[in-house]
Amino acid sequence: MIPFPTPQGTHAAPVAGALSIRGVSKAHKVDGRRLDVLREIDLDIAPAEFVGIVGASGCGKSTLLRLIIGLDNAYDGEIRLDGQRILSTSLDRGIVFQDHRLFPWLTVAQNVAVALAKRPLSKGVKAQLVAENIALVGLSGFESAYPHQLSGGMAQRAAIARALVNEPKVLLLDEPFGALDALTRLKLQQDVQALRRRTACTIVMVTHDVEEAITLADRVVVMKGRPGVITRIVPVGAQGRDRSSPAFARLRDDILGELMAEPATAAVANLDDARQRQG
Amino acid sequence: MSFSAQAGPALSGSHAGFATPRLHRLKGLVLPIALLLLWDMLARRHVGQGFAFVTLAQLSDAFAGAIASGDLLANIVASLRRVAIGLVCGGVLGIALGTAMALSRTVDRVVGPLFHSIRQVPTLGWIPLLGLWFGYGEFPKLLIVTKAAMFPLVLSTYEGLRNVRQADVEVGRVLTLDPWVLFWRVRLRAAAPMILTGVQQALAFAWIACIGTEILFGSGIGIGAMIETGQVEGNMATVLLGVIFVGLIAFALTTAFNRFTARQLRWRDTEDRA
């Protein structure tokens, strides 16, 4: 584990990032009826591990990330980070959403800097951290651009810089490349791989792209919906990462088969759901 | 402004004379000048009714006289001062009340109904009552201008803060921003376009209320008072001079504020960005 390069070494404690998800169930109330979103989710994620969660729309995978980031604590079961129960948001955990969610009224540099608002650092150190992280995602020269002036891929890079600037123990990616074109998506996937070699944080990525999950993750978690449950956890070996290898194709077919093997009615419902979300 | 910026290049071929944006903007002067010339023509024809119609020559004499005596400047300064004080007081009160109503359900429920009933009464409808209570001095005038500036800002601040995207607030929570940082740097900034629209309205309403109050009170100094005096004295040139300056100043204030707004909101991806 190579620690994330910082000038001042702002984290005194060794970087860990073990996530433990035990018996997590979550339900929404819709028109007075109880709608189960997640049921009995158990998952342990090791420090510095990269876990990809795949599943159809509406299987609860994004909800699970909301619970891990701490935006929602009305659920059963418990989620712990290095033994500490997660009860609210914390700078230990960073997240990148599908829509970049940069503040449109702040420039790229200001958007990254606002993430440091709670840190007791001098202005100079903050400016340096902002500049380093913008450089890390390849956005040097765009510090004073406003989000609407950026392409989708660049905005998502800025969002990644904002999530990384606090050196989180856990980085959550919620379909981060879902709204990008195929080429930009491939480029950003390579960048995330490169990023992994430079940071020691645990990464949990939710995606509906099975190939993306296999390429990037150490383990692929397959979820199915209504209510969301984990049906399989597939480890990805070193050969599995190579998109042209037979191992990659086997893994992909295996996981896709798992995703498709659900009752026809549920599959149709999920498709309808996906269409509605897009339409 | 957006129109000229968009149309400029496209028209440059066929209307070479209006090719530059500056010349393009001068188009707006054509109609007022035509109206003044028409006015002058009518005034010359009906010389017998010179009481109602003054010629441009008489108008410019009155203008020169008002400048020389310093009356015009003093009246303009007095009116602008009232508007400035009213805008600052009404602005602070309006944004504060709008914020309180947007953020606190209790305040919304307790103050809301009263606020919305008072809102139905036109600003100038308060003049007789305020006159009886406070006389016809400076204070009730300031009170009316303040009220005129305050009400649109309560509404726009309320609406702006109520419509902040939940996604932006969530990012604030993810970054563990303190409540006041979340308010200043996220909620208020997200509501800024709406609030600035409110300020724009407040500016217009405050100016109208100021002139209206000065005319109706008919005392003290100010452009409105100048118009009122002109009317009482049967001095049409003074009345017309006052009306022209009311319009010119309103136009200047609006233009200046729009520029300020465009600069403040340059982060928005809108057509106005030229």
Residue range A52-58: mean pLDDT, rounded: 89
Q: What is the distance in angstroms between the Cα of A245 and the nearest Cα belonging to chain B? A: 39
Residue range B28-38: mean pLDDT, rounded: 86
Q: Is the pLDDT of residue B51 over 60?
A: no
Q: Which two tokens stand for residue B5?
A: 């910026």
Beta-carbon contacts of B115 under 8 Å, excluding residues fewer than 6 positions away, are B97, B101, B154
**H or E element: which one contains A224?**
strand A219-224
Residues in chain B, total: 274
Supply the mean pLDDT for chain A: 86
Backbone angles phi, psi at A161, to 5 degrees: -60, -40
Which positions in chain A have a beta carbon within 8 angstroms of at least one beta carbon in chain B?
A: 69, 71, 89-91, 94-95, 97, 99, 101, 103-106, 114-115, 117-118, 146-149
Residue type, A60: G
Gap between the Cα atoms of A278 and B226, Å rounded: 63
* Chain B residues touching A146 at Cβ < 8 A: 266-267
Give residue B188's pLDDT: 94
Q: What is the distance in angstroms between the Cα of A149 and the nearest Cα belonging to chain B? A: 8
Give burial (CB, 10 Å; 0-12/13-18/19+) of B67.
exposed
Q: Which CATH class is domain A19-92+168-278?
A: alpha beta
Q: Is the pLDDT of residue A277 over 80?
A: no
Give burial (CB, 10 Å; 0-12/13-18/19+) of B33.
exposed
pLDDT in tens, B162-203: 999 999 999 999 999 999 999 999 999 999 999 999 999 999
pLDDT band at A265 (very low <50, low <70, confident <90, very high): very low
Task: Please state the domain count of chain B.
Answer: 1
**pLDDT-wise least confident of A26-30, A65-69, A265-269:** A265-269
Give residue B223's pLDDT: 92
Give residue B13's pLDDT: 40
More confident residue, A5 or B182: B182
* Chain B residues touching A115 at Cβ < 8 A: 175
**Does some domain include residue B177?**
yes
Closest-CA residue of B relative to A69 is B174
Distance of CA A238 to the CA centre of its chain: 21
Q: Which two tokens stand for residue A19?
A: 């996530």
Q: Is the pLDDT of residue A95 over 90?
A: yes
**Does some domain include residue B25?**
no
pLDDT in tens, B208-267: 999 999 998 877 899 999 999 988 888 888 898 999 999 999 999 999 999 999 988 988
Q: Is the pLDDT of residue A8 over 50?
A: no
Closest-CA residue of A relative to B269 is A148
Supply the mean pLDDT for chain B: 85
User: What is the residue whose two structure tokens read 């790229």?
Assistant: A108
* Chain A residues touching B171 at Cβ < 8 A: 101, 103
Gap between the Cα atoms of A37 and A228, Å rounded: 5
Beta-carbon contacts of B37 under 8 Å, excluding residues fewer than 6 positions away, are none
**H or E element: which one contains B112?**
helix B105-120
Residue range A13-36: mean pLDDT, rounded: 85
Gap between the Cα atoms of B265 and B181, Å rounded: 20
**pLDDT-wise least confident of A215-229, B4-18, B55-69:** B4-18
Q: Which two tokens stand for residue A79?
A: 């989620």
Backbone angles phi, psi at B12, to 5 degrees: -60, -30
**Does some domain include residue B58?**
no
Judged by DSSP in three states, A93 sits in: strand
Please state whether beta strands A19-30 and A33-45 pair in parallel, antiparallel, or not at all (unpaired): antiparallel
The alpha carbons of chain A give a radius of gyration, in whole angstroms, of: 19
* Chain A residues touching B266 at Cβ < 8 A: 146
Backbone angles phi, psi at B178, to 5 degrees: -65, 155
- Nearest by CB to A146, which of B167, B168, B267? B267
Residue range B133-145: mean pLDDT, rounded: 90
Give residue A279's pLDDT: 42
Give residue A38's pLDDT: 92
pLDDT band at B48 (very low <50, low <70, confident <90, very high): low
Distance of CA A123 to the CA centre of its chain: 29
A91–B175: do the CB atoms touch at under 8 Å? yes
Residue range B40-63: mean pLDDT, rounded: 75
Q: Which two tokens stand for residue B141?
A: 């005038």
Interface test with B, best of A105, A119, A165 (most B CBs within 10 A): A105
H, E, C per residue of B56-103: HHHHHHHHHHHHHHCHHHHHHHHHHHHHHHHHHHHHHHHHHHHHHHHH
* Chain B residues touching A97 at Cβ < 8 A: 167
- Nearest by CB to A103, which of B173, B186, B266? B186
- Rama region for A2: left / alpha / beta (φ>0; ψ in -120 to 50; rest): beta
Closest-CA residue of A relative to B264 is A105
Give residue A11's pLDDT: 43
Q: What is the distance in angstroms between the Cα of A145 and the nearest Cα belonging to chain B? A: 9
Please tell me what DSSP assigns to residue B3: H
Identify which of A110, A108, A116 has the alpha carbon closest to the alpha carbon of residue A155. Answer: A108
C-beta of residue B101 within 8 angstroms of C-beta of residue B158: yes
Closest-CA residue of A relative to B193 is A105
Peptide bond into B140 cis (omega under 30): no
Domain range holding B195?
73-264
Q: Give the neighbor-by-neighbor strand order of the sheet with A84-85.
A: A33-45, A19-30, A76-81, A84-85
Chain pair A-B, CB pairs under 8 angstroms: 54
Interface test with A, best of B267, B268, B272 (most A CBs within 10 A): B267
Give residue B205's pLDDT: 93
- Nearest by CB to A118, which of B176, B185, B190? B176
Please state whether beta strands A202-207 and A50-54 pair in parallel, antiparallel, or not at all (unpaired): parallel
- pTM for this entry: 0.79
Which positions in chain B have a beta carbon within 8 angstroms of at least one beta carbon in chain A?
A: 167-168, 170-171, 173-178, 181, 185-186, 189-190, 192, 266-269
A101–B267: do the CB atoms touch at under 8 Å? no
Gap between the Cα atoms of A59 and A260, Å rounded: 13
Cβ count within 10 A of residue B194: 19
Q: Does this complex have an ipTM over 0.95?
A: no
Give residue B220's pLDDT: 83
**Does some domain include residue B14?**
no
Give residue B24's pLDDT: 72
Closest-CA residue of B relative to A110 is B185
Give burial (CB, 10 Å; 0-12/13-18/19+) of B70.
exposed
C-beta of residue A255 within 8 angstroms of C-beta of residue A210: yes
Judged by DSSP in three states, A150 sits in: coil
Give residue B20's pLDDT: 63
Backbone angles phi, psi at A219, to 5 degrees: -135, 145
Sign of the CA dihedral A123, A129, A135, A137? negative
* Chain A residues touching B174 at Cβ < 8 A: 69, 71, 89, 94-95
Give residue B266's pLDDT: 87
A114–B175: do the CB atoms touch at under 8 Å? yes
Interface test with A, best of B166, B168, B169, B176 (most A CBs within 10 A): B176
In this prediction, what percent of chain B has a pLDDT beyond 70?
88
Cβ count within 10 A of residue A11: 15
